[in-house]
Every structure is written in structure tokens, then in C-alpha cells.
Structure 1
């Protein structure tokens, strides 16, 4: 049994969901000079910064609050009438607030280092608030749990949310791992230089199929794996297992998928492995989907990445338009046979969409959604 998605919202370097999708369709790149930290010391000169500025210490929470407020308003979720659980996915929580401690010498309140207070301010009366610190696939894991909860009657509504802002710790890690300094993310490009971070948040409302209000799409199934293959390197077999599980749980064949919204980090290791997994599981079953990705335009939004991909997929389903992979000029050799959307949007009706999200430590999440 599938679940329904009643509302969705994002905040990225382009703004809200409508502005984000419009920017993607135009092929815009949101990268700009790094606005905080010492670029020379960090080894990173570029970031995909959210609009608005303000205190970076609690930027993730502010972006999350905006997304939560939007989906609650649009869906009409009411904790007085419904059993509502909130799942918050993140990679870093409010780590920027901890980093600021060293500068201002004033420790942040412990209660502000996760998002429970943010949720309570927007949705008082939620039955429980659970935080997933699951690296870059955290949102995908939360979607899988949300579907299980509504299908098994453990909640009437599950609000799945995610947020991450750039931190100097993560920037420094990227600066140490990479070779040349990337000026933008180039997913699946043979000359890609590596990943860059983007501020981002997202929220969706998941409910069962008895929902009588407006709905944006159907959450069909999720496939998850935690292969613990390597601290940072992806494992082909782990990704293939997650992909195959998603289709098995959905009762669908990979040949039926119309679009893949890829993880596409623009790194030396992720992109070839992700391409090979698509070739093995999807193309190997006779599939021939379009492939797009958003990190060239929006940067890597860490724990919010899966839900950002979901919002883009819902917009694609609603408009029959698929944005190009921003920054992709010449596909890498491992991408041979994959139909990357390049240069301009593709326009065609869509049914089934696959969403990829892969994180450090081999935590992989593949989600299937479709039009109603």
C-alpha cells in the first residue's frame, strides 16, 4: 500500500519551491563566493548560500521553520484532530551554533542544538518529534519510516522535514579531501572537481490513502541499505540493493521508471558508481529513463538532499517538465547509455520517478514516487 504526499516545501539558494524550480528550469547556478569563514584556511572559496543572511548559528532552524509553516498551512494538518508525528532529517543539526561558541565564548543552549523547539513553535501538540542524523540520505530514510507509520496506523499524518546549513567543519573537510578547488558542482561531468555545500531545508506531509484533501503525488516505496562499506566511498552493491528493494517493495519493474532524480554530487567516486548502479539495475531491466540532478544548481544540501529531490520530482510530475543537470557539459564515460537532461528542460508526461540519496558510511536510500 502506498502513501500520499499532501504538501511539500523547500528553501534553497534560490528561495522557495516555485523559485527553486524556475531557477532549475532556466539552468541557473546558485554558486557564489563563500560568505563566512576563511576560504584560504578552509580550502573552499565557493558556496550555495540561502537568501536572507542573518546569524548563521541557527540558519538551519530558520529555514526549517519556514518550510514547516508552509506545509502545515497548505495541508491543514491539525494536531487537535490528527495523530501527528514529525521526523526531522539532518546531517549536522545546529553545528554552526557550536562552532560560534569558540568565537563568542557563549555556549548555545543545549535545547537549541536540535529542532524540537522549532517544531513545537510551528506544530504544538505533535505526538513526537524524532531527529535522524543520517548524513546525506537522512531524508530518504525518514520518508521510508513515514510511509511505514501511516500504513500501519501508527500515525494519521507524518510530517517529514530536513534542514542543514553550511558549517566550517564540513567546509574544511571538503577542502582537505578535494584536489583543485571547485567553483561549482558539475554532476556527472568528466571534468568535475568535487562537491560544494548548499544551505537547504524541506518538509513534506505524508498520510495514508484515506486522505481527502489535496495531494501532490503518491509515495510508492523506499529501498534502504546500510552497507558500512567505507567511511566516505560508495559501494556499488549497496546502492544496487537499495534500488532493487524499492522496486520489489513497490511491486514494480525498473523498466517502468520515467525519470531518475540522481544524487549526483560531482565527486570522483559517487558519480561513476551511481551511473553504474543505474546501468545495472534500471537499464539492465530494460529501462530508459531521463536522468537529472540538482546539485549543480543548488549545491549539496546534506540531510535535506533527499527531500529537495522529492520536491523537484513533484514539480516535474505536475508540470511535465524536467530541468537539465546544471554544470554538465561532457558526461563521464561511466554514464554512457544514460539519458541525461542537458542544456534545456525536457518536456514530456511522467509517471514513475526514482529519487536517489546516498550518505557517508554507506547509508543509501532510493525512493519511488508517482503521479496520482
Structure 2
């Protein structure tokens, strides 16, 4: 069954959801020098940071802010609805844990999950589930939320996601790049690799008819888990997530007007995603507009799916698609894709596809319909 989005809230290095969308339309980026870590030792010198203090449990604090704002916008309260929450993350609060060579005996390990952070925004949540599904965690949380509504386990579900860049993830991306990456360049022939961003997002999902002012309709989320490789993507696995979403949503690739791509700017992901879009979405038609956010806000790990979702909501509502920041020379494998290169108004758009692909082949693709 379909579901409605009743509220959405975002925080990125560019600000709130509205501020981020405006910056994306202008082609601006939140890229800056790496903070709080030894850049030379990590072979990573740049990142997409949120400009706040270096306090503990930052990811949870951002999540609390977004959950509260999304519920306020949705006008959903526990007095009238049974509200559950599903939170996606790739790293949890790992950055806080890394502060100690040996964590203190009384370290509050329950804060590594996000039940306390979500309940700080709404204490009456019936349950909070944390899903750690790499870079597609927010998409998996959305799929679980839709199942909960379909099964009658909640009247409304807050779908949240959050991640702060950690030293361990920075070390990993520094090891796989021959030279330190200067900027994320999704789908560019000269792309040099990924850089991390950070932030959080939350949306409120309700059943059809449960809100008079929906932001958009979630038709379906397709999933796949191919376990092809620890990090390298499988085009077959990515394709299964796309076809699963189209089948569940009773749509075809020709119906898709906009793709908000995963677009990591890496050697393997971008060609694989381009091939999957050409084979499963474009077909023999002109194909949808394709945009990607990571050149502007970095790779926000488990939050990236919901960041893409918020931009898709705004693009459908306002008829404008942000350009792919950092894209100058499209990669050869992308020939035939219509990459967004400016933010001029588009023809009316009805259907958006949101891609989120994670390490280990955990993939999600969400179809979002205008209302």
C-alpha cells in the first residue's frame, strides 16, 4: 500500500532543508577543510562539516532536532496517533566512542542507538528501532515504516536517519584514494573519490487519508541485499532494487521524471549506477533528469537516502531540479543520461526515484509521487 509524507526536516552542512535546497539550486557547496582530526595522517584533507561545536553525541542531537521539527510540521501528536520511529544510521555515535582510547566503565552504551535521541523529541513514541544498514540505512528505515503502517502496528511512523563523520570512516576513504580527494564529483569522468558529510533528517509517514496536507506520496521502496562484495557494487544487485521498486509501485521506468542518484563520485559506483539507470529506467525514451547531492553536501552515510528524499519532495513541489555540483565532464558510461546542469524550471514532474546503495550490497530505491 502507498503512504503519505506529512512532515520532513533536514540538517546538512548547508543548513535546514529549505536552506539546503536553495543552496543546491544555486550550485553552492559546503566543502571545507577537515576539522577535529589529523588530516595529514588520514590522507583526507577536506569534508562537508556542520558548523557547530565538537560536543559528544552530535548525531543524536541533530536527530532530536529533526524529529521534533518533522512532527511539528505533520501536526501529529501521541494524543491522536500511535507513533513509532525507525532510525537509520551507518556509524551510530562512533565519533563519540573514538574520543577515548578505552571507554569509561560507565559509558552510556544505550546512546549508541537512537531511542533516547528520538524520545527526547517525543517521549510518547511507542517504540524506536535503530537500523544500521550502511549508506542505504535511511531507505531501509522508510521501507520498514511503510510495512508497519500496512500491518497496523502504528498510525504514524517517524523515519529518521543521522550520521557524523568518524575517524574510522575517514581512514578508510583515505586508504582507497591514490591522492587526497579535493571534492566529490558525481558522474564526472575526472572524479577522484568520495568525501564525507554529516547531518540528519526525519520524515513522518502516515496512511492514505490521514493528513489533509501531504508533502508527497511514497509509492514503494524496493530493496536488495546481494552481498556481492564488501565495498564494490553489483549492477545486478542495484538493478534488482530498481525493478523491485517499480514492481511494487506498479510503474515502469518510463514513468520516472527525476532520479536523485546515489552518485558517490567513486570509480566503481558511478559507472554501475549509470548502467543500471540506462538499462532499467531510461529505455529508448529521453529518460528522466538525473541529479546527485554529494558534490554539495558530501556523503552523509546513513542519512543520505533521506537527504535525497527531502530534495525530491521539494523538486516535485517547486518544479526545479538542482544541478549536479562538481559535474563538468560526464563519464562515458553516462552517455544517454540527462544530468541536471542548471536549476531552470522544468516541465511538471510526477514521479521521482531516490537511490541509496550501501557497502555489502544493501540497496534501496524509493518511488515518490507528487500530490
Which residue number corresponds to residue 33 of structure 2? 33
The answer (yes or no) to whether the contact 1:253–1:285 under 8 Å persists in 2 is no
1:1-372, aligned counterparts within 5 Å? 1-55=1-55, 57-102=56-101, 108-284=107-283, 286=285, 288-372=287-371
Distance 2:241 2:117 in 1: 32
CA–CA distance in 1 between the matches of 2:183 and 2:76? 39
TM-superposition CA deviations, 1:79-118 (whole Å, max 9, x none): 2321111000000000011101228968632122221111
8 Å CA contact 2:320–2:343 kept in 1: the answer is no
Give yes or no for contact 1:101–1:108 (8 Å, CA) kept in 2: no
Moved runs in structure 1, 4+ residues, more than 6 A?
A: 103-107
Deviation, 1:286, is: 3.8
Greater shift in the superposed pair: 126-135 or 141-150: 141-150
Unpaired segments ≥5 residues, structure 2: none
1:130 partner SS: strand
CA distance in 2 between partners of 1:285 and 1:73 (Å): 44
* Secondary structure in 2 matching 1:322: coil
TM-score (structure 2 length as normaliser):
0.97
Which secondary structure does the structure 2 equivalent of 1:219 belong to? strand
Cα distance between partner residues in 1 of 2:91 and 2:30:
22
Shift of 1:119: 1.2
Which region of structure 1 is more displaced relative to structure 2, 278-287 or 90-99? 278-287
Q: Shift of residue 343 of structure 1?
A: 4.1
Structure 1 unaligned residues grouped into runs of 5+: none
Q: CA–CA distance in 2 between the matches of 1:323 and 1:281?
A: 23
Alignment partners' CA distance in 1, 2:232 and 2:270: 11
RMSD, aligned α-carbons: 1.4
- Aligned partners of 1:294 and 1:335: how far apart in 2? 17
- Contact conserved, 2:229 with 2:361, CA < 8 A, in 1? yes
How many residues align structurally?
371
